[in-house]
Amino acid sequence: MSVKHAISRGLEFGRSVYKIGLLKPASRIAAKFRGERVHGPPQSRTAQPQTFLPSRYRYFRTTLSGIAARVQSGGFRRFAGSSPRNRAVFLAFGLGVGLIEQQQEDDRGNAATCQGIQELFSKKKFQSPLKRFTSGYKLEDYAIGKQIGKGSNAAVYEAAAPLAFSKKTSSVVEVSEDQGEGESTPYLRCCFPLAVKMMWNIGAGSSSDAILRSMSQELVPAGPHALGQENKQISLDGHFGVLPRTVPAHPNVIRVHRAFTADVPLLPGAREEYPAVLPARLNPDGIGYNRTLFLVMKNYPCTLRQYLEGNQPGLRQGTLMLLQLLEGVDHLYRGGVAHRDLKSDNVLVELDSDGSLRLVISDFGCCLAQSDGSLQLPFNSVWVSRGGNACLMAPEVATAVPGRAVVIDYSKADAWAVGTISYEIFGEPNPFYGAQGLESRSYQENQLPRPPAAVAADVQLVVSLLLRRNPEKRPSARVAANILHLSLWGKKALANQDSVAMRELVDWLLCQSAVVLLRGCGGPRGNTVEAELQRGFLAHLELQDLRTAVGFLLFGRAQRQACILCA
């Protein structure tokens, strides 16, 4: 409610109070409040109770459990012979409660609007652009190409499958899951559209059940048809609870299309790249088991680290990349999953047909995916794993000391890691890497280097907020993403430098929803990534998160204004 509106309502309320005689004896005012008659003989008809306020103010009595009316009535009774000042205080208090109720009514309306927008956009689920297929549960179904990646626990190879060769051409084709097995005209896919990740099995045994249980965290981004029929009912007991706990498809999270166990083959480069983890039948000195887990995913051109080594995205493109990481982390958080090993090596990049960059979070081998989704890990022993990359471990995780009642909260740990990766996105070295880098367990916030001056002030604000040591003062990934959304597309709604009316912001959200619906799958300038980001923002719209984001934006503006004045 605007200040002008509040003043006008206060004046109208004052006039009504003056009419009943604020300066008259308190006993008469109290009597009038109770609807009693003070003077004059009794009349034949029943006296109707007088309303203390005009009809439009009767919500004072009927809302907030009648607090305002009871306080005023009690005040008159208690201070019947008191001064007009005391009576005015209780009247003012009643007015204040009424204004609070009006604000609550506005909030309820705004929250209902946000919920309606959220329901509208959350109905449409993300569909992977890669065509699905009906088979592919055996390693023999795939043509394996060259090695395209290698980590600490797996090797990744390009692949094409399920295989079917056209009679007219020798192109590799991929059968859509929407087609029947007897149908012809399969979806044509040349080269190697898929990637096969072969896990290294050095301790899980050769039983398929034991392998799936030991490596179940890798199945967190698995689709509903990833496991074959024989494995669908298996109970996957991971290191941190009962699995599977999978997350729905999201444009910024990798999707595992198939997962199966098979005998370890001798793939190209195996003896040179990872001889020690091969089974004895392939390498007499190897310590690996004969069978292991294979994961089939979409083939992405490169990792974020590889891309940034030869490319420098523009400022707007960098902001969109940072926003995609925050949206992916928020999606995992909503699914009760903490990645715990977020770094530029575990983020994949592809170039969309319209030239925009899409970022995808991958490699869930270190993730926390408990059955209750609380992201609270009991840390009662040094043998409990805290996650992957120690350099990018959030302060609350890095400084945790094991104890009987110690619990590590991972709800904002991945958001902190995104803040560190943002430096790499904007062309700066990650401040937590290298011999001279900061340590997450001991750094101070004033030691953090400033992002390049060309980066937008709101983006710099988000980076500084994400890297706060205290997780209670650090925004969630959802709030940080909202700040960037408002900065990118809500500048008109945030034109006022001093304050932002929630009603005006909700009106902008309605207009934005209409624009996004009219554009369909194409965003501004036909950018599909921006369209997905805008839809994701509207699909997760909550008034409290939005209000918190606006508060951080206003805080950042006030800080910048103060710095300008001091200079």
Amino acid letter, residue 11: L
**What is the pairing mode between strands 256-263 and 291-298?**
antiparallel
Torsion of Cα atoms, 412 then 413 then 417 then 420, to 10°: 70
- Separation CA 211–CA 101 (nearest Å): 59
Helix (H, G, I), strand (E, B) or coil at 66: helix
Catalytic residue among 263, 330, 341, 545: 341
Dihedral sign from CA coordinates of 294, 296, 299, 304: negative
Torsion of Cα atoms, 351 then 245 then 259 then 325, to 10°: 10
Whether the CB-CB separation of 101 and 122 falls below 8 Å is answered with no
DSSP 492: T
The Cβ of residue 431 has, within 10 Å, a number of other Cβ atoms equal to: 18
- Separation CA 348–CA 214 (nearest Å): 25
- Separation CA 280–CA 286 (nearest Å): 5
Helix, strand counts (H, E) of the chain: 16, 14
Residue 372 is among the residues annotated as catalytic for this protein? no
Whether the CB-CB separation of 556 and 457 falls below 8 Å is answered with yes
- Separation CA 168–CA 551 (nearest Å): 63
Please enumerate, as own/partner, the contacts of 4-7 that have beta carbons within 8 Å and a separation of 24 or more. Answer: 6/99
End-to-end Cα separation, the chain, in angstroms: 36
Which sequence positions are flagged as catalytic? 341
